[in-house]
Amino acid sequence: MADMVTCTSCGKVATEKGHLCAPVELKEAHECEYCGTTSSDPRHICAPKVAELKYVCNGCGRVATDDTMLCDPTGII
């Protein structure tokens, strides 16, 4: 993965600092498979993903669309 930077003003992500008004380097970037947004938060939950959520982990509270993505899944009622 190329070095990524994010803007502290607007939150946009780019590979070059010159494209952002207040850039800081991201330690790790994740691209949302549902909406395509790049975020430093691996727990990013967008509106399209919320519609597909079916499980929650009893251990950590993480939510997922598939029970195999969680260590102790329970169906969301």
DSSP 15-72: SSGGGSSSEEE-S--EE-TTT--EES-TT---HHHHHH--EEETTT--EESSGGGSSS
- pLDDT tens-digit profile of 15-58? 665 665 655 565 677 778 788 887 777 777 788 888 889 999 99
30 and 5 fall within a common domain? yes
27 and 14 fall within a common domain? yes
Could you tell me which residues come within 8 angstroms of residue 54 by beta carbon, excluding any fewer than 6 positions away?
64, 65, 66, 67, 75, 76
13 and 36 fall within a common domain? yes
What is the pLDDT, as a whole number, of residue 45? 78
7 and 29 fall within a common domain? yes
31 and 51 fall within a common domain? no
pLDDT confidence tier of residue 68, bands split at 50, 70 and 90 = very high
What is the pLDDT, as a whole number, of residue 50? 85
35 and 61 fall within a common domain? no
39 and 52 fall within a common domain? no
For residue 71, the enclosing domain spans 45-77
